[in-house]
Structure 1
Amino acid sequence: MTRDPIRPLLRTTLRRGGSLALAVLLALSPVLPAAPAQAQSRIKDVADVEGVRDNMLVGYGLVVGLNGTGDSINNSPFTEQSLIGMLERLGVNIRGETVRTRNVAAVMVTATLPPFSAQGTRIDVNVGTLGDAKNLQGGTLLVTPLLGADGEVYAVAQGAVAVSGFSAQGAAASVTRGVPTAGRIAGGAIVEREIAFDLTDLPYVRLSLRNPDFTTAKRISESINASFGSPVAHAADPASVLVDVPPQRKADIVGFIRDMEQLRVTPDQPARVVIDEASGVIVMGENVRISTVAIAQGNLTIRITETPQVSQPGPLSQGGQTAVVPRTDIQVDEQSDRKLAVLRAGVSLQELVQSLNALGVGPRDMISILQSIKAAGALQAEIEVM
């Protein structure tokens, strides 16, 4: 067993009077665990550099090689027209002929072009059916140009489609798991055109906050100025911070942005309660506070149960008939056990949740309670209903 050299030293110094022991404790204090600091985030996690952005691409193409699960030509005329046009470009003329195939599906192809993507690099693409195809499993996407918002071709996609879902059916039953009519091609598109953007030409760097806030914007500018030792940054508005590039850093703009985005700040957000009424999900921020308010929750429930009973005459009775005798049971639940609860002013989020849970409130009723507290002017937060 390894001996601890610190304990004998402390016992010796304490016996000698304690002054040296105090010095040793002060020397050891930096290695003791510090109190947890306030949660901070990097600037790169709360803001984006303006101009460094993705671009959306879209295209229309055909998937072939399906095992009878493609579009029905009668219900998808665009698939027939696309198939005839493609074959004509390949030297096959079938115009005027009847096409009967279920191995082809018209699809929409989407992709995201990352910033600074060089010509020849590969990007992932997503494929989704446009007609009445049942399954894309085993299909291959033919050459499909991907267009940007300006109508220019920025990438070309082709490859085997990977489908995570599946579908199977018989004469009396069927099963479907996932979405078999949508798939993905990893590295399925090649970038053909680059988007010109030169960082060295920027007179300044604009940071765009993902969640605009006055306090967060000011904290970001103060953190940058403190790090570089000069007032190079200022908050232009709640959504953006302008940073002047120092003359000595213009030759290394990438290193300047790297140093800046690694700085840590404490984001601040207004108190907000987000409610999704469709799913009953409630999300409350840590700054949500309420004034003193009394809450009572309860519903009157009347339950009526009909259990009719059949009455039959005895085995040897004369003229007896079988009769149905109604039996009705009525129960009234006034939920008298639900009591009035008082919430103090300025309670924290945890106390608010605990108080509502103590009332036995479900998510649906909690939505109504929060909206009622807001209507009473006691909820110091913004309610956003999705």
Structure 2
Amino acid sequence: MIKRIISIVFLLLTLPQLALAVRIKDIASFDGVRENQLIGYGLVVGLNGTGDSDQTNFPVQSLANVLERMGVTVNRNDITVKNVAAVMVTANLPPFAKQGTRIDTLVSSMGDAKSIAGGTLLMTPLKGADGRVYAVAQGGVLTNSFSYGGQAASAQKNHPTAGRVPNGGLVELELPNVLSDRGQLRLNLHQPDFTTATRIAQAVNERFKGGVAAATDPGAVMMNLPEAYKGRVVEFVADMERLEVRPDAMAKVVLNERTGTIVIGDNVRISTVAVSHGNLTLYIKETPKVSQPAPFSKTGETVVVPRTEIKVNEGGGGLAVVKEGASIGEVVRALNALGVTPRDLIGILQAIKAAGAMQAEVEVI
């Protein structure tokens, strides 16, 4: 019976830690395993008179070049179509994408087209930063918008000059496999932290029974491939990234004065401090009065007598004492007792930080 009670108490003590644990794959990624950005220039055709105007020259030149490659010779000065729009096409090439993999592409107008809704993107090569073509894009453009109008009125929904081609990109060139035949891997943390990097290294070493991992700096953990996983890098990564650790973060308070948004981290602590808050309202009203002589009087003149009404209302501000080591919940309850608004709370938190009573970083955005 005693052993059972001890087991239950131990479980209750460890539940808060287990609840905060996250998988390694959600807070870090391996060096080289990332997306690559692609870009290309293309044409969208089939528009209902909402394409680029004659004042935009490069769509006309592009259309003439396309027709010439198809065996149709035209004079560029004779092209006055309005159903064509020049666009920039962008996409993200995911890691380990193979030939034939479909990817989504974004299409954005470059000229003065009113809308590219309902158009079709012609085959567009997508290049990487090295200038090589990694994918081609083609297909119908979806904008989820409309734009109609006449001479006196118009109606528009969402953004009609930018859209998406779902699965419109086709991968043609594969990226090299950065994990093949490697005996050492580097894990990069999304949010560098000394404590988190150390916990990841400890969790990996406990799982694989040896000095497999070592935290080289707050943002990286170096791992040596265990002997049991030689030639099986993918299996090692699959077993490792499922491990759970508790990430740590520096105490921080984020304030947005434009919107009144306040975000306070869990590790924020405040020393003993007294906070007073009060509102001063000043009401001024001008009611001038006109004074003029009596009817049919021979003397006197009309004058304007100024009258000013002033009212001062000072709110009953209170004094709240926040004890040393107070948690974020205690701080919020103490400040709410003063009846402060979010914008007032921003000023109070900045004043507490200036007084040296807040052990946290304050970031104003």
Equivalent residue letter for 2:23: R
Aligned partner of residue 268 in structure 1, secondary structure: coil
Distance 1:241 1:131, change over 3 A: same
Distance (whole Å) between structure 2 residues aligned to residue 277 and residue 97 of structure 1: 55
The residue aligned with 2:300 is: none
The residue aligned with 2:79 is: 99
- Indicate if the aligned counterparts of 1:73 and 1:79 stay in contact, CA closer than 8 A: no
Distance 1:307 1:161, change over 3 A: farther
Matched, 1:53 2:30: no
The residue aligned with 1:13 is: none
The residue aligned with 1:72 is: 53
Q: How does 1:363-378 map to 2 (within 5 A)?
A: 363-378=342-357
The residue aligned with 1:207 is: 187
Q: How does 1:127-166 map to 2 (within 5 A)?
A: 127-166=107-146
Aligned partner of residue 41 in structure 2, secondary structure: strand
Name stretches of at least 5 consecutive residues in structure 2 with no aligned partner.
Answer: 298-302
**Which of 249, 257, 260 in structure 2 is aligned with 1:269?**
249
Distance (whole Å) between structure 2 residues aligned to residue 243 and residue 87 of structure 1: 55
Aligned partner of residue 340 in structure 1, secondary structure: strand
Q: Give 1:129 deviation, angstroms.
A: 1.4
The residue aligned with 1:194 is: 174
Distance 1:41 1:352, change over 3 A: same
Distance (whole Å) between structure 2 residues aligned to residue 86 and residue 325 of structure 1: 82
- Number of residues of Structure 1 aligned to a counterpart in Structure 2: 352
Q: CA RMSD in A?
A: 2.9
**Which of 24, 41, 50 in structure 1 is aligned with 2:22?**
41
Matched, 1:225 2:219: no
Matched, 1:361 2:340: yes
Query: Normalised by the size of structure 1, how large is the TM-score?
Result: 0.83
Name stretches of at least 5 consecutive residues in structure 1 with no aligned partner.
Answer: 1-21, 311-316
Q: How does 1:1-386 map to 2 (within 5 A)?
A: 26=4, 36-38=15-17, 39-74=20-55, 76-305=56-285, 330-335=310-315, 337-386=316-365
Range moving further from structure 2, 41-50 or 276-285: 276-285
- Indicate if the aligned counterparts of 2:103 and 2:171 stay in contact, CA closer than 8 A: yes
* Identity within the alignment, %: 54
- Indicate if the aligned counterparts of 2:60 and 2:76 stay in contact, CA closer than 8 A: no
Q: Give 1:271 deviation, angstroms.
A: 0.3
Aligned partner of residue 339 in structure 2, secondary structure: coil
Q: Give 1:326 deviation, angstroms.
A: 8.6
Distance (whole Å) between structure 2 residues aligned to residue 46 and residue 256 of structure 1: 18
Distance 1:364 1:165, change over 3 A: farther
Equivalent residue letter for 1:55: N
- Indicate if the aligned counterparts of 2:32 and 2:178 stay in contact, CA closer than 8 A: no
Distance (whole Å) between structure 1 residues aligned to residue 257 and residue 75 of structure 2: 53
- Indicate if the aligned counterparts of 2:46 and 2:120 stay in contact, CA closer than 8 A: yes
Distance (whole Å) between structure 2 residues aligned to residue 95 and residue 224 of structure 1: 68
The residue aligned with 1:15 is: none
- Indicate if the aligned counterparts of 1:125 and 1:187 stay in contact, CA closer than 8 A: yes
- Indicate if the aligned counterparts of 1:145 and 1:155 stay in contact, CA closer than 8 A: yes
Distance 1:374 1:34, change over 3 A: closer
Distance (whole Å) between structure 1 residues aligned to residue 120 and residue 304 of structure 2: 67
Q: Give 1:373 deviation, angstroms.
A: 1.6
Distance (whole Å) between structure 2 residues aligned to residue 168 and residue 305 of structure 1: 49
Q: Give 1:379 deviation, angstroms.
A: 1.3
- Indicate if the aligned counterparts of 1:66 and 1:136 stay in contact, CA closer than 8 A: yes
Q: Give 1:318 deviation, angstroms.
A: 9.4
Distance (whole Å) between structure 1 residues aligned to residue 125 and residue 229 of structure 2: 40
- Indicate if the aligned counterparts of 2:33 and 2:178 stay in contact, CA closer than 8 A: no
The CA deviation string for residues 19-78 of structure 1, in whole angstroms up to 9 with x for no partner, is xxx59x949x87xx856331100111111011211111111111111112222221x222
- Indicate if the aligned counterparts of 2:279 and 2:317 stay in contact, CA closer than 8 A: no
Distance 1:176 1:300, change over 3 A: farther
Q: Give 1:374 deviation, angstroms.
A: 1.5
Distance (whole Å) between structure 1 residues aligned to residue 52 and residue 108 of structure 2: 12
- Indicate if the aligned counterparts of 2:182 and 2:233 stay in contact, CA closer than 8 A: no
Distance (whole Å) between structure 2 residues aligned to residue 338 and residue 252 of structure 1: 67
The CA deviation string for residues 325-355 of structure 1, in whole angstroms up to 9 with x for no partner, is 99865443332x1222222111111112222
